[in-house]
A and B are shown apart, each in its own frame.
Chain A
Amino acid sequence: MSALRLISNRTSQQALSNSDYTWDYEYYEYGPVSFEGLKAHKYSIVIGFWVGLAVFVIFMFFVLTLLTKTGAPPHQDNTETSEKRFRMNSFVADFGRPLESERVFSHQMTEESQSLFHFCINEVDYTNKAKVSQKGPSLESNTHFQEVPRSSGVFEEDLHCLTKFNIPNFVNTEQNSSLGEDELLISEPPIILESKLVMQSSHRILD
């Protein structure tokens, strides 16, 4: 390892030892290093490093958990039109680590060997956050994810998904979001975000 050569170069340059370049398990020659008169424990760096790392990871975890608890209250919808639908889905972003296999569409889930998550993405407009102040769903930045599990021969569902080209209010962090309650296909609560969002979109449907 380069660290090995570091030591060898250094020691040979300083002529402190007669160690040649050795390629051996005894990488480091502690001859020149004196272990006397240590104030702290000799493994203090090791212990300090690992404790620091553990503290950092735990801190990060708590910060993330706190983020789940605090934050803006859910935005109530102002206008509900029939176009605003809201579909739940296992929107892949690996955020819900399923220790058990969790699916959102449990009642539609067919775990075939060929099944893929089929996403019909209806995106209205993903505008900047600066434009959000306007009310009205058509100007909001929304992405709408519909998931249609693709099993063999469920072509009707695919078509059904396509025809529902509606304007969703979904993933946005802005003020004006309205939720439609017409169809909530989610039967199970967890929102599993997995970023394995395979955009097998309409061309695949039509194949």
Chain B
Amino acid sequence: NISDFSLNITDCTQVVVPEEVFFTVAAAGILENLLILIAVVRNKNLHLPMYFFICSLAISDMLGSLYKTLENIFIILCKMGYLTRHGDFEKKLDDAMDSMFILSLLGSIFSLLAIAADRYITIFYALRYHNIMTLRRALVILAVIWTFCAGSSVAIALFSYEAATVIPFTVLFPLMMFFILCLYVHMFLLARSHAKKIASLPTSTVQHRTNMKGAITLTIFLGVFLCCWAPFVLHILLARFCPHNPYCACYMSIFHVNGTLIMCNAIIDPMIFAFRSPELRSTFKKMFYCSR
């Protein structure tokens, strides 16, 4: 229903992303993450806590892209008239898909946290890593994380109009980011002192380029996550607190661009996490060469 109010010409109209772009980006994200899952499952060498956490990230990315795809499909079906717009079934479906999306966001955050914690333990508790992070514990951690995320997502989706759910949700996001940043900065400092020691050796020719690379890598990690998810989180905040303010309304008109950004995150994340492992890359090569 498009309401026929007297619209100003200066109104912020919805910025629409073409459906082809939408579906392409979503499909690419789903495929990429599916490949990672298949590769980890098939290669026994990759049955390690570290790769399980990367798989968890891949699953949450896949859920995000899947959500967007399904939503688009349903909107198209609605437009074509196969589904009514006001039905009960559609509302329940919308509820389910909302919770899937929030599950994806929470899953992403917690997976990143798990990956950062795993790397932290790897570096600072190197020899005891095997005892601290056994496979069983990693699976238990993942089960706990996903149960918590599922519960929260259902609760948030059901009570999305309550301020009590929106505020913790939006506070959780920067908190986690900050915590992950602290973990990585500590690791980074360690790497830097390491580099300095090597530089002090007479036979070494360490360049500063390395630490610059470390800075670049870390910035890419967190920058990508921030740029892809923060717009949407801000959207939720604004939708809750100032939906009728013209400035807020203009921000909310780019909702579809924000959704596309989230799907881009699903494409970029494997590149900066999973594909940097040589073992995973070699597994891919084998998979593709064998299929020929």
Contact = CB atoms under 8 A, between A and B. Distances in A.
Nearest to A169: B197
A9 interface: yes
A126 B124 CA distance: 8
A196 interface: yes
Interface SS majority for chain A:
loop
B128 to A, nearest CB: 8
B126 A45 contact: no
B168 interface: no
Nearest to B6: A31
B152 interface: no
Contacts of A173: 189-190, 193
Contacts of B248: 45
Contacts of A18: 3
B239 A35 contact: no
A190 B213 contact: yes
Interface residues of B, number: 112
B211 A195 contact: no
Contacts of B247: 38, 40, 42, 44-45
Interface stretch (B28-36, B56-64, B217-225): B217-225
A110 to B, nearest CB: 12
A139 interface: no
Contacts of B251: 43, 45-46, 49
B139 interface: no
Contact of B214 (A22, A33, A143, A193): A193
Given A45-B250, A45-B251, A97 B220 contact: yes
Nearest to B255: A27
A97 B272 CA distance: 9
B291 interface: no
Nearest to B191: A193
A193 B102 CA distance: 33
A91 B210 CA distance: 13
Interface string A171-204: 1110001010100101001111111111101000
23 contacts: A3-B252, A7-B239, A7-B243, A20-B86, A22-B85, A24-B1, A25-B16, A31-B7, A32-B5, A40-B247, A42-B12, A42-B247, A43-B12, A45-B238, A46-B250, A46-B251, A96-B217, A97-B214, A116-B45, A189-B205, A190-B213, A191-B198, A193-B187
Interface of B: 1-3, 5, 7-8, 10-12, 14, 16, 45, 48, 50, 71, 74-75, 78-79, 85-86, 90-91, 94, 98, 101-102, 118-120, 122-130, 156-157, 160-161, 181, 185, 187-220, 222-223, 226-227, 230-231, 234-236, 238-240, 243-256, 276-279, 282, 285-286
